């Protein structure tokens, strides 16, 4: 831990706090807020949820305050807004009791994510995320919910497994990821170190990869992405196509086989359902 990354170095906002302590506080707050927000047994009313939201917002504020400046206020504002939308709606997705609401929050989260993608210069992906996820997959989820839970909220939606441990695990994970992200520096990009001779000899394909940066933000970006996709990655695209086909057939096969055995309902499985 001595090699603590200077995640928040240069921000100047919280000079008096060491980055490590700041990070620990942020992670603890996140875990606490998630714990408060997650539906669980016992007394847990609107008050605790509000406290949870408050702590969560403080955490986000910490992250924002300590984040890297992009140099341009407008850029920062845009990035901040879309990422806030994504993160807040993600929190809502996992804490919302009703699965339907969770799905709708997830749709909003997808919108935020697509915004982030756009900011990061992935125009096609931003659009594709909306189209594929929000337009197709999410609708499928809602259909399933409608089929399976027409009566709405069930008991199992009002309760969670091990909320405390889960929240702590998530917080620790986020802390670790933040640490390693903060360790990144322009001088020594982790993935662009020159490959050693032995590695180069071992993998001849390494040399083929163009090391020079291309400008991703040209106007024909989608065309070039398509060229990349159907050029270098043609085989992979074909493989993914086959995978989609197989998944389609597999889903149909499982449904049709499963329906025959659908009457196999053991009483033991129901024993906990009404508790």
Site for another protein in 120-159 (CB under 8 A): 120-122, 124-125, 128-129, 132-133, 136-137, 140-141, 144-145, 147-149, 151-159
Query: Least CB distance from residue 112 to another protein, whole Å?
Result: 9
Based on CB atoms, which residue is closest to another protein, 28 or 98? 98
Look-up of token digits 């096609």 = 124
**Is residue 7 a contact partner of residue 19, using CB atoms and an 8 Å limit?**
yes
Q: With binding defined as CB under 8 A, does residue 90 bind another protein?
A: yes
DSSP state string for 167-198: HHHHHHHHHHHHHHHHT--SSS-GGGSPPPHH
3-state secondary structure of 56: helix
CB neighbours of 179 closer than 8 A, spacing ≥ 6?
4, 5, 7, 23
Q: Name the residue among 74, 10, 23 with its Cα closest to residue 181.
A: 23
Residues numbered 194 to 233 that lie near another protein (CB under 8 A) are 210, 212-217, 224-225, 228-229, 232-233
Residues numbered 40 to 79 that lie near another protein (CB under 8 A) are 40-42, 44, 63, 67-72, 74-75, 78-79
CA–CA distance, 83 with 64 (Å, rounded to integer): 10
CA–CA distance, 156 with 40 (Å, rounded to integer): 10
| Candidates 15-23, 47-55, 197-205, 243-251; binding stretch for another protein (CB under 8 A) | 243-251
Based on CB atoms, which residue is closest to another protein, 198 or 209? 209
Based on CB atoms, which residue is closest to another protein, 198 or 234? 234
Q: With binding defined as CB under 8 A, does residue 234 bind another protein?
A: no
Q: How many CB atoms lie within 10 A of CB 35?
A: 21
Q: Name the residue among 213, 221, 191 with its Cα closest to residue 117.
A: 221
Query: Least CB distance from residue 154 to another protein, whole Å?
Result: 7
Query: Least CB distance from residue 180 to another protein, whole Å?
Result: 8
Q: With binding defined as CB under 8 A, does residue 33 bind another protein?
A: no
DSSP character for 216? Answer: T
CA–CA distance, 224 with 230 (Å, rounded to integer): 10
Based on CB atoms, which residue is closest to another protein, 54 or 148? 148
Q: How many residues bind to another protein according to rule CB under 8 A?
A: 131
Taking CB under 8 A as the rule, which mask of x and - marks residues 152-191 in contact with another protein?
Answer: xxxxxxxxxxxx-xxx-xxxxxx-xxxx-xx-xxx--x-x
| Candidates 15-23, 47-55, 115-123, 194-202; binding stretch for another protein (CB under 8 A) | 115-123
CB neighbours of 206 closer than 8 A, spacing ≥ 6?
195, 199, 200
Of 15, 196, 220, 273, the one binding another protein by CB under 8 A: 273
């Amino acid at each position: 831990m001595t090699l603590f990354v200077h995640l928040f170095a240069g921000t100047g906002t919280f000079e008096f706090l060491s980055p490590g302590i700041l990070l620990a506080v942020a992670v603890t707050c996140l875990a606490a807020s998630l714990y408060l927000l997650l539906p669980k047994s016992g007394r847990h009313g609107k008050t605790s949820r509000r406290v949870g939201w408050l702590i969560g917002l403080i955490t986000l504020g910490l992250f924002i305050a300590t984040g890297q400046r992009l140099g341009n206020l407008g850029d920062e504002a845009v990035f901040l807004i879309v990422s806030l939308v994504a993160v807040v709606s993600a929190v809502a997705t996992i804490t919302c009791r009703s699965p339907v609401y969770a799905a709708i929050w997830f749709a909003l989260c997808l919108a935020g994510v697509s915004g982030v993608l756009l900011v990061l210069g992935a125009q096609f992906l931003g659009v594709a995320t909306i189209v594929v996820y929000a337009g197709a997959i999410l609708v499928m989820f809602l259909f399933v919910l409608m089929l399976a839970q027409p009566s709405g909220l069930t008991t199992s939606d009002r309760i969670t497994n091990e909320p405390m441990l889960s929240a702590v695990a998530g917080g620790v994970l986020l802390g670790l990821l933040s640490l390693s992200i903060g360790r990144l520096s322009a001088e020594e990009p982790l993935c662009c170190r020159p490959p050693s001779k032995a590695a180069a000899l071992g993998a001849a394909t390494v040399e083929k990869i163009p090391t020079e940066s291309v400008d991703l933000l040209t106007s024909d970006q989608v065309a070039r992405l398509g060229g990349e996709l159907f050029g270098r990655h043609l085989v992979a695209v074909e493989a993914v196509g086959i995978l989609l086909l197989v998944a389609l057939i597999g889903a149909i096969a499982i449904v049709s086989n499963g329906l025959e055995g659908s009457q196999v309902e053991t009483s033991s499985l129901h024993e906990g359902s009404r508790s």
